[in-house]
Amino acid sequence: MAVYTEITDDDLAGFLAGYDLGRALSCKGIAEGVENSNYLLRTERGTFILTLYEKRTREEDLPFFLGLMQHLAARGITCPQPVKARDGGALGRIAGRPATIVTFLDGVWVKRPGVSHCRQVGEALAALHDAGADFAIPRANALTVGDWRPLFELSKPRADEVLPGLAAEIEAELDHLEAHWPRDLPRGVIHADLFCDNVFFLGGQLSGLIDFYFACNDFLAYDLAICLNAWCFEPDHAFNATKGRAMLSGYLAKRPLSEAETAALPLLARGSAMRFLLTRLYDWLTTPEGALVKKKDPLEYLRKLRFHRGVASIAAYGLPPEDYAI
C-alpha cells in the first residue's frame, strides 16, 4: 500500500493543464504499489493512473520503464500506456516529484490463482519476453546474485530474531548460489516482479500486466522461476505441480527453453526465492510495528527456497521430460 505524497487540487489542475485530458473529475490515492504513490484519476477524457515516483525509484530509470511499456504495447502486450503531455513528453513533475499519467487497465487480480491462471501467466510471460527482445534501452538488474550478500549484511545481525539459525542457512545458500549461478543463459527484458497483484484477469481471461518498475535485463528463465515461486505454491506451502506444469506448458508453447535453461531452472528458482527472502527479511526488520503497510513473511520464501534445494530437475515442477525435450 502506498500514497506517500499528497497532491492538492491546485497541483493537479496545474499538472493537467499540460495534458489534453480535460479537467479532473476525481483523483483518489489507491492502495497499490509499495514503491510509488498511485492515484486513480478520472478526467473528462477517461480514467487513468497518476503515478508519483518516490525516492526508491531512480529518476534516471524512468525512460526505461516508460519506454518499455510503449514498446511492449506496440507488440501486443496489454499494459498501461504512458499518456503524452502537450509537449510530447510522458514524464512530468507534480508536488516536487517526477510523475506520469498512464492508461487505466480493467481487470482484477486473483488472490488464489487456479491452474488456468497459471497457464495464462506462463503464456503471457513468454509473450513479454518475445516482445521485449528488441527493446533498445538497457537496465541492469539491481537485485541479482551479486547484490544479495550486501543486502543480507544489512539484516544479518538480527536475522536469527526471525528464526534461529536463519543467518547461517542464508550464508550457506549464498555461497552455493554465488558459486553455481549461470553465466550464459539467454538474456533479455524481464518483468522481475510478476506476482499475482500485477496480473489482471477479466472473466477468467488474462487482461493485462502492470507494474514494470522492477523490469530489467537478466536471464529470461529467471523471470519464469520468479513466477513459479509467486504462483504455484499453495497457502500450506506445498508446491502444486499441476499449476507448475500449466505455467511451464504455457510458457513453452510460446518460447522453448534451451537445455541449459531447463537444467538451470531449479537453481534459478533457489536464487529467486533468495532474492525475495532477503528483501522481505530487510523490510520485516526495518518496518515499524503498526505501520499500515502489510509486512510480507520472509519465511514463506525460506520454505520455497528449501523446496527448490531438493529439486533435481524441472520434472519436479510438474513437467514430464517428453514435454520439454529439445
DSSP, res 239: B
**Bridge partners of residue 49, in order along the sequence:** 40, 102
Cα-based distances in Å from 38 to 21, 31, 163, 211, 290: 18, 8, 35, 11, 22
Minimum distance from CB of 12 to its own copies (Å)? Answer: 7
Name the residue nearer to its own copies (CB basis): 4 or 258: 4
Name the residue nearer to its own copies (CB basis): 33 or 271: 33
Grid cell in block for residue 254? 510460446
Minimum distance from CB of 277 to its own copies (Å)? Answer: 23
Minimum distance from CB of 280 to its own copies (Å)? Answer: 18
Minimum distance from CB of 231 to its own copies (Å)? Answer: 14
* Residues binding its own copies (CB under 8 A): 1, 3-4, 6, 8-10, 12, 23-32, 40, 42, 47, 104-112, 200-203, 287-293
Helix H segments across the chain? 9-16, 62-74, 115-132, 145-162, 166-180, 220-231, 241-254, 259-286, 298-309, 321-324
Picking from 129, 112, 276, 273, the residue whose alpha carbon sits closest to that of residue 190 is 129
On the CB side of 285, CA atoms within 13 Å amount to 20
Listed in sequence order, the residues at least 6 apart from 102 whose beta carbon sits closer than 8 Å to its beta carbon are 48, 49, 51, 69, 80, 81, 82, 83
DSSP, res 11: H
Name the residue nearer to its own copies (CB basis): 8 or 242: 8
Minimum distance from CB of 111 to its own copies (Å)? Answer: 4
Name the residue nearer to its own copies (CB basis): 156 or 295: 295
Name the residue nearer to its own copies (CB basis): 27 or 263: 27
Q: Are strands 46-52 and 187-190 parallel, antiparallel or unpaired?
A: unpaired
Name the residue nearer to its own copies (CB basis): 28 or 187: 28
Minimum distance from CB of 22 to its own copies (Å)? Answer: 11
DSSP, res 172: H
